[in-house]
């Protein structure tokens, strides 16, 4: 067959690769008119071998399998497909890339919705189906990478050491495209956010200022405007149903339920979220390989410190095992956190690396989002205490850490882009909000804070995504309130912002919080008390949610503290000699460093 003469008519993904990867296999997906039956030829290149090629159902896709051995050097491959020679870059890996340190218990994560955080540039909208309209709560508001880069100092100044932006990939849809969870091109930053080069500049500057970048990766689905949808490689590239569109029922427990009907399990994983989010079939080998290589490409190309995986359990289980194993093979110290929106520790722990599961399932994903503790914490702060309510929820929630292989590596969050704002859920009570943040910052978890929590952003209590993901005040020219420089903030907002800054900057340097042991005491009188400690030092955390001060008898905590010791309040710096009782102010956390 004869192909078009220009290599520009071909799309190759991944667009480049690297020498020195631990797994030497590489599969190129080549898309071009009539390319499927071509017999590719690789010009001699030391250390690189063309192993095989095959087509799918479409005449316009060719899959080429290469082996890039450890002997290969950086350079450019020449791959002839029909009458066209395609140039393919092989790059050298950055020094230390494989050994990069991912995020962990020493870190605190700041979650940003890029479209709603800050606008730093007026970017062109050529070819984009949806423009900017800040008056539309569900529309694009124009935040971008330049705006995020402009405020890296703000994020670092608050004490956060990692930033997680919701997906930045191209989402070229008619409407509701700003959130990023319906990719239309897996290898392109949405031009309304900037370019791939802009993303590289952002990640580089963030790292230089002590802030790692976590990429939000969606493996389960794409957007209906994805370029594949104009020419699917094969009908089973997607999970399709004989009866037509079938939506997932979100019954996630079907995967662990020993009594679940197989048809229910299939509907959970193979059903679509919405008609505009086609569900990918990761049981097809080329889809699985594509998604795995795509993940590795972003990590390597932009020096990421971790991956957050959206709708984790909705993907094929066996694929998730292979995907997580391959990522951790290439980056053994990286971290991956999965989203499993369940209130049950047994369900969330099923997906964490090291768990010995009842059905033999094996995962290599190190971390999960701690939805069970998030639910327990928010409920505890607004309920009366009882045998099963209030602080008991938090106490028993942490007691369930025995089901996790690595509880300290879970990510505990105040809220996210899919949940009502914490301050609103806590009845707009700044004291309760401080208690929640103090617990997140001091317990055995990795804390994640949603942008704007530090200035008490609000939302409706019912789900309203557009208002939950409200614009960060001061992110746009002319905003009358500016969170970044304090203009127009109320005294309560200023106080909270300053308090969050002190809390997380203290946490950043406190090793007892990063890796110390934990001992908790049963809650009494509206107070929850626990200690972080090692052989030489002790921190005491007392959380009082009542409307009056509580006097705690220190005799309740004989293993960890005694009268006569000295205590320094880590937030105020004030010191005191401990007597028989300790007063915890109303609606407040008290964090004390205990010395002999």
Catalytic site positions: 310, 339
Considering only CA atoms, which of 202, 181, 177, 204 is closest in space to residue 192?
177
Whole-number Å distance between alpha carbons of 474 and 119: 9
Whole-number Å distance between alpha carbons of 156 and 159: 5
Question: Which segments of 477-561 are extended strands (E)?
Answer: 517-524, 527-533, 538-544, 550-553
What sign has the CA pseudo-torsion 472, 474, 479, 480? positive
CA triple 190-200-334, angle to 5 deg: 105
Length of the chain in terms of residues written:
596
Contact 325, 353 (CB under 8 A): no
Both tokens of 517, joined, read: 């042991």
* Phi, psi (rounded to 5 degrees) for 401: -60, -15
Whole-number Å distance between alpha carbons of 412 and 435: 14
Contact 213, 202 (CB under 8 A): yes
Whole-number Å distance between alpha carbons of 309 and 71: 33
Both tokens of 131, joined, read: 């423009």
User: Which stretches of 271-417 are DSSP H helices?
Assistant: 285-302, 317-330, 345-349, 371-380, 391-399
Which residue pairs, CB below 8 angstroms and at least 24 apart, start in 240-248? 241/270, 245/272, 245/275, 246/270, 246/271, 246/272, 247/271, 247/272, 247/273, 247/274, 248/272, 248/273, 248/279, 248/314
Whole-number Å distance between alpha carbons of 182 and 163: 21
Contact 123, 140 (CB under 8 A): no
Largest CA distance in the chain: 90
Q: ω into residue 14 within 30 of 0, thus cis? A: yes
Whole-number Å distance between alpha carbons of 496 and 432: 12
């Amino acid at each position: 067959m004869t192909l078009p003469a220009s290599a520009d008519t071909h799309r190759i993904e991944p667009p480049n690769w690297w020498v020195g990867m631990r797994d030497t296999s590489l599969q190129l997906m080549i898309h071009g008119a009539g390319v499927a039956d071509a017999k590719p030829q690789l010009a001699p290149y030391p250390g690189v071998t063309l192993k095989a090629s095959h087509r799918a159902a479409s005449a316009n896709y060719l899959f080429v399998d290469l082996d890039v051995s450890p002997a290969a050097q950086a350079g450019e491959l020449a791959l002839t497909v029909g009458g066209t020679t395609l140039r393919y870059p092989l790059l050298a890996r950055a020094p230390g890339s494989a050994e990069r340190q991912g995020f962990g218990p020493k870190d605190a994560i700041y979650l940003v919705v890029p479209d709603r955080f800050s606008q730093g540039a007026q970017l062109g909208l050529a070819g984009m189906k949806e423009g900017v309209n800040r008056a539309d709560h569900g529309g694009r508001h124009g935040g971008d990478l330049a705006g995020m880069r402009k405020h890296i100092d703000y994020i670092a100044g608050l004490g956060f050491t990692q930033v997680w932006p919701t997906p930045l990939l191209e989402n070229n849809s008619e409407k509701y495209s700003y959130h990023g969870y319906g990719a239309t091109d897996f290898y392109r930053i949405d031009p309304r956010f900037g370019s791939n080069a802009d993303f590289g500049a952002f990640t580089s500057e963030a790292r230089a200022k002590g802030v790692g970048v976590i990429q939000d990766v969606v493996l389960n689905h794409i957007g209906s405007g994805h370029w594949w949808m104009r020419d699917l490689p094969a009908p089973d590239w997607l999970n399709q149903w004989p009866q037509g569109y079938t939506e997932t029922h979100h019954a996630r427990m079907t995967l662990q339920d020993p009594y679940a009907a197989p048809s229910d399990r299939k509907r959970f994983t193979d059903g679509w979220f919405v008609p505009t989010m086609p569900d990918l079939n990761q049981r097809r080998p080329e889809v699985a390989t594509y998604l795995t290589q795509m993940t590795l490409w972003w990590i390597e190309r932009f020096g990421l410190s971790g991956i957050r995986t959206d709708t984790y359990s909705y993907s094929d289980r066996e694929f998730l095992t292979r995907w997580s194993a391959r990522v951790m093979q290439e980056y053994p110290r990286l971290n991956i956190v999965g989203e499993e929106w369940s209130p049950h520790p047994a369900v969330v722990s099923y997906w964490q690396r090291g768990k010995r599961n009842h059905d033999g399932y094996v995962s290599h994903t190190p971390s999960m989002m701690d939805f069970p503790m998030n639910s327990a914490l928010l409920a505890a702060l607004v309920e009366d205490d009882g045998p099963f309510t209030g602080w008991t929820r938090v106490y028993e929630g942490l007691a369930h850490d025995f089901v996790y292989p690595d509880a300290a590596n879970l990510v505990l969050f105040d809220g996210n882009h899919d949940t009502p704002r914490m301050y609103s859920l806590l009845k707009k009570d700044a004291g309760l909000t401080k208690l929640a943040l103090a617990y997140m910052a001091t317990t055995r978890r990795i804390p994640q804070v949603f942008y704007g929590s530090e200035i008490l952003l609000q939302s409706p209590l019912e789900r309203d995504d557009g208002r939950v993901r409200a614009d960060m005040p001061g992110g746009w020219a002319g905003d009358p309130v500016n969170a970044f420089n304090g203009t127009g903030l109320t005294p309560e907002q200023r106080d909270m912002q300053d308090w969050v800054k002190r809390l997380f900057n203290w946490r950043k340097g406190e090793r007892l919080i990063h890796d110390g042991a934990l001992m908790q005491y049963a809650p009494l009188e509206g107070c929850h008390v626990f200690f972080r400690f090692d052989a030489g030092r002790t921190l005491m955390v007392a959380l009082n949610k009542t409307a009056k001060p509580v006097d705690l008898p220190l005799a309740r905590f004989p293993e960890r503290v005694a009268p006569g010791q000295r205590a320094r309040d880590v937030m105020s710096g004030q010191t005191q000699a401990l007597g028989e009782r300790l007063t915890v102010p109303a609606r407040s956390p008290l964090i004390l460093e205990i010395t002999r």
